[in-house]
Chains A and B, each alone.
Chain A
Amino acid sequence: MLLELSDVHVHYGQVEALKGVSLDVDQGEIVTLIGGNGAGKTTTLKTISGLRPVTRGSIRFEGAELVGVPAHRLVAMGISQAPEGRGIFPGMSVMENLEMGAYTRAGDKAAFARNLDRVFELFPRLAERRRQPGGTLSGGEQQMVAIGRALMADPRLLLLDEPSMGLAPKLVAQIFAIVEEINRQGTTVLLVEQNAAQALRRADRAYVLETGRVVKTAAADELLDDETVKAAYLGGDVGSAS
């Protein structure tokens, strides 16, 4: 088991945002978390990354307990995240944003060059735009920077928070294809998505989150045919975006 959450509770003040979430991600998988607004998908990722304090429960990564480990330590442990809303540093160039992804491994020039090559191969557009400020990029380009930046740390687990948000359907398909390619190259992916149809088609397994609880888990293609999932998240039309 690469990542294992057991009975994780998280509170925002008095409100309980996660009410005992348990889930696991195996080496080499793409696992997706789907669910509506406020279901707790983003909170789950932020909690794994150490940005939200856990009130009860345990999170283990490669056997090590993550609860209590400050957020800035996780990159070095092998977990990177492309956060919700992309989190591009607007005043920094594409190149500087990518350099931020390798912040904790600044000494390793060879690894930096290797990871940069990989990112530019996956996203040739970023190589063209390397001097452009992050704030002036299009939404799709910003998403490429966010994913590329996370890859600069050469993570074993990549956390993606709604990579399809606000993108045109064609770009969404392109981004998802790249996520699959990243996975094929050996990176395990935990993908949070509102766009359940696309996410389920790319993922191996899925968890359905509702108001802070896991209400269903199964192989992704099973959930694609599941009547309740279809009605709630696929809007009866599996082909449409979001």
Chain B
Amino acid sequence: MVGIFASLFALHGLGVQPGDPTLSGAALMGTLLVVTLVAMAASGLTAVAMERIAYRPLRRRGAPRLAALITAIGVSLFLQELFAARYGRDELGFPRVLEKRQLLEIAGANVRSDKVLVVVAALLLMVALDRFVNRSRLGRGIRATAQDAETAALMGVDINRVVMLTFLLGGLLAGAAGTLYGVFFEAARYNIGFLPGIKAFTAAVLGGIGNIRGALVGGLSLGLLENWGSTVLGGEWKDVFAFSVLVLVLLFRPTGLLGESLGKARA
């Protein structure tokens, strides 16, 4: 939500208004890049600020993990209401940046330019994140902290810094997602991030919590299931169908789809 608002403001800042002709070529690339970077920065900084204000005191007092989850919901509502108070509860138009052109048709399916953008950007970010967490030294610090924070500290990992960095990473990615969401759906509202947030969590559980590749598989599966469900049962059943599948999967695989191969995948 912060990401999508930041992209919106960045677009206004660049002088792009709803109803303007769409951009193309270098102007399009430049605008997309600037808007995405602004959104990533805004969202990343918000995440870091929230970690400082709302999460670090909890860690210092040794609060249970459940407290962090409840804080997450609280922070989400706080940010939503803050934006609702400032910008109202109505939908704000998001200018059309990218012309939605049909690029090609594969077996009766339309391949549209904005969809290609979303898929390519998501894949690039996923690969970058996976490489960072699995290959870099800081990524190793993040994994060590997740697996055993106290021992990680004994190895010389500054836990507070690692947690802050993790929030920053999450915020950066959420910011990029916000821009993509805006470009795709062309609308922004104070609570636009809530359902995607819940679904992101669902995707992570579905794929196996703590496993980045699992989250990728989980997200893709959830999206495909939703859309298949809404085609077969009708659009209003989309969420019912997806969440029923989640419950079923967890009944038979409580660790999520890739949960068990966690150790193997990282070896």
Contacts and interface: CB of A to CB of B under 8 A. Distances in A.
Contacts of B158: 70, 72
Given A83-B150, A91-B262, A153 B140 contact: no
Interface residues of B, number: 23
Contacts of A103: 137, 140-141, 144, 155-157
B140 A81 contact: no
Nearest to A101: B155
Contact of A100 (B140, B210, B262): B140
Given A92-B143, A103-B137, A87 B148 contact: yes
A183 to B, nearest CB: 20
A242 interface: no
Interface stretch (A2-10, A131-139, A188-196): A131-139
B153 interface: yes
Contacts of B154: 49, 51, 71, 74-75, 80-81, 83, 87
B140 to A, nearest CB: 6
Interface string A109-145: 0000000000000000000000111111000000000
A171 to B, nearest CB: 21
Contact of B144 (A93, A100, A131): A100
A133 B151 contact: no
Nearest to A81: B154
B148 A72 contact: no
* Chain A at the B interface: SS class: mixed
B211 to A, nearest CB: 9
B267 interface: yes
Contacts of A72: 153, 155-159
B15 interface: no
B264 interface: yes
Nearest to B162: A72
A99 interface: yes
Contacts of A135: 263
Interface string B232-267: 000000000000000000000000000000111011
Given A51-B150, A83-B151, A87-B151, A93 B266 contact: yes
Contacts of A89: 143-144, 147-148, 151-152
Interface in A87-105: 87-93, 96, 99-101, 103-104
A149 interface: yes
Most chain B CB within 10 A, of A49, A70, A71, A83, is at: A71
A96 B134 CA distance: 10
A80 B153 CA distance: 11
A91 B157 contact: no
A153 B155 CA distance: 8
Contacts of B151: 83, 87, 89
A106 interface: yes
A99 B155 CA distance: 10
Interface in A26-80: 49-51, 70-76, 80
Interface in B120-178: 137, 140-141, 143-144, 147-148, 150-159
Interface in A144-161: 149, 153
A133 B263 CA distance: 6
Contacts of A70: 153, 158
B263 A104 contact: no
Nearest to A75: B156
Contacts of B150: 51, 83, 87
A76 B154 CA distance: 10
B148 to A, nearest CB: 5
Contact of B267 (A83, A99, A132): A132
27 contacts: A49-B154, A51-B153, A72-B157, A72-B158, A74-B156, A76-B156, A81-B154, A83-B150, A83-B154, A87-B150, A87-B151, A88-B148, A89-B147, A90-B147, A91-B147, A91-B210, A91-B266, A93-B267, A96-B140, A100-B140, A100-B155, A103-B137, A104-B156, A132-B267, A136-B263, A149-B155, A153-B156
Given A72-B159, A89-B151, A153-B155, 20 more contacts: A51-B153, A70-B153, A72-B155, A72-B156, A72-B157, A75-B154, A75-B155, A76-B156, A83-B151, A83-B154, A87-B154, A89-B152, A90-B263, A96-B140, A99-B140, A100-B152, A100-B157, A132-B267, A133-B264, A149-B155
Interface of B: 137, 140-141, 143-144, 147-148, 150-159, 210, 262-264, 266-267
